[in-house]
Chains A and B, each alone.
Chain A
Amino acid sequence: MAADRRSSWLKGVLDLLVLSRLTDGESYGYEIAKALAEAGLGEIKGGTLYPVLNRLEEAGLVEAEFRAAERGPGRRYYRLTPTGREHLAAESRSWREFHRAVDTALRPGGPTA
């Protein structure tokens, strides 16, 4: 039950979390998944991550560039677009407001405490 709930929470903010991993520069799928795991968000499988990256690209929030590698298969690198950066800032504010409201409501005594 707890894992299900955590998974639902993550689903609601995964696009923002992915965008947040690109604020310091470009990155690629596996590196993004690894960074999210290291941030304590659990293992994000490729089956979940890549459709999210595709949607972000279709929405113009990230740009992708495929680069061949000298050794082994090439990779697609993603970077934030200006629209993506604005979107991330606005949606992060919304999330923080929502988080504060939930946090207040869950405190002993509820929102009036």
Chain B
Amino acid sequence: MNDTAYFAEVTGALAAAGVPAAQIEATVEDLRAHLAESGTAPEEEFGPAARFAARLGGLAPEPDGPDAAAEHWTWTADLFNDRRMLAVHGAQGWEVESLDPIGRFVCRRTPGSALRWEYRREVIAGRRRARVEDELTPEGWEPCGEWLVYGYFKRPAAALAGPAGAVQAPPAAPHRWLFLSRRGKAVLAVWTLLVGGATAAFFVGALGTAGLAIAIALTSSLSAVWTAGLENAAGRERRGPAA
């Protein structure tokens, strides 16, 4: 990316965040002056344009910084539904900050300067992680959470859309927090049935504490594998037959 394209992207993202035009102009000139002295390329000096603009223009306040004005919302979805729901909520200005230990998306949104966010999910198990991150980082994607073998990445839509990446009238924070697909409900029903059976067996004395723990762990692991298998099959179906 050349200097012009880089600063055009920074300008677009800052404008989308409501930074006044005169301030953007001065900022860009100041950054150009920095490059003139350092002799470095913009991406090398400042990092990906979208991420730099987000840190620069108050689009994404520092995790440790004051955050009183931001709305917070935590929700989850099953593996069949997560990408669709991330797209829906990202379009409403929700930025995923992390995944908590039980797999919920921890989100924030700043009223008045909310941006649309794009998300993607990639398998990052083993050696794939470095390759995936190397491919996605130059395009402005940054990791925002991990679950099992999956890594989630986010990118402000302003990275590509400029000012159009801002959310004009975001709807109120949803009360709902669980978004299960039909297949997700089926997997959950089977899991509940098996764990319920094991718990009943524990109470009638047919299963010890260790047996119950093993049964729950085994059922959960099998459910995860089954879910991943179904999702992979669905992914292959979506992509169609290989050429």
Residue ranges of A at the interface with B (Cβ–Cβ < 8 Å): 28-30, 33, 45-47, 50-51, 54-55, 58, 66, 69, 72-76
Contacts and interface: CB of A to CB of B under 8 A. Distances in A.
Given A29-B30, A55-B65, A47 B37 contact: no
B237 interface: no
Contacts of B52: 47, 50-51
A29 B34 contact: yes
A74 B33 contact: yes
B242 interface: no
B65 A74 contact: no
A77 to B, nearest CB: 9
B33 A50 contact: no
Given A47-B46, A51-B52, 17 more contacts: A28-B30, A29-B33, A30-B33, A30-B34, A30-B38, A45-B46, A46-B31, A46-B35, A47-B45, A51-B62, A55-B65, A72-B36, A73-B29, A73-B30, A73-B33, A74-B29, A75-B30
Which interface residue of A50, A54, A74 has the most chain B CB atoms within 10 A? Answer: A50
Interface residues of B, number: 21
B20 to A, nearest CB: 13
A69 B32 CA distance: 12
B37 A30 contact: yes
B55 interface: yes
13 contacts: A28-B30, A29-B30, A30-B34, A45-B45, A45-B46, A45-B47, A50-B52, A74-B26, A74-B29, A74-B30, A75-B29, A75-B33, A76-B27
A47 B42 CA distance: 9
B234 interface: no
Interface of B: 26-27, 29-38, 45-47, 52, 55-56, 58, 62, 65
The dominant DSSP class at the B interface is: helix
A60 B26 CA distance: 19
Which interface residue of A45, A46, A58, A74 has the most chain B CB atoms within 10 A? Answer: A46
Contacts of A73: 29-30, 32-33, 36
A12 B58 CA distance: 20
A80 B29 CA distance: 22
Nearest to A76: B30
A18 B5 CA distance: 29
B66 to A, nearest CB: 9
A59 B242 CA distance: 56
A72 B47 CA distance: 23
Given A46-B38, A75-B33, A55 B62 contact: yes
Contacts of B31: 46, 50
A7 B58 CA distance: 23
Nearest to A77: B30
Contact of A51 (B29, B35, B55): B55
Contacts of A51: 52, 55-56, 62
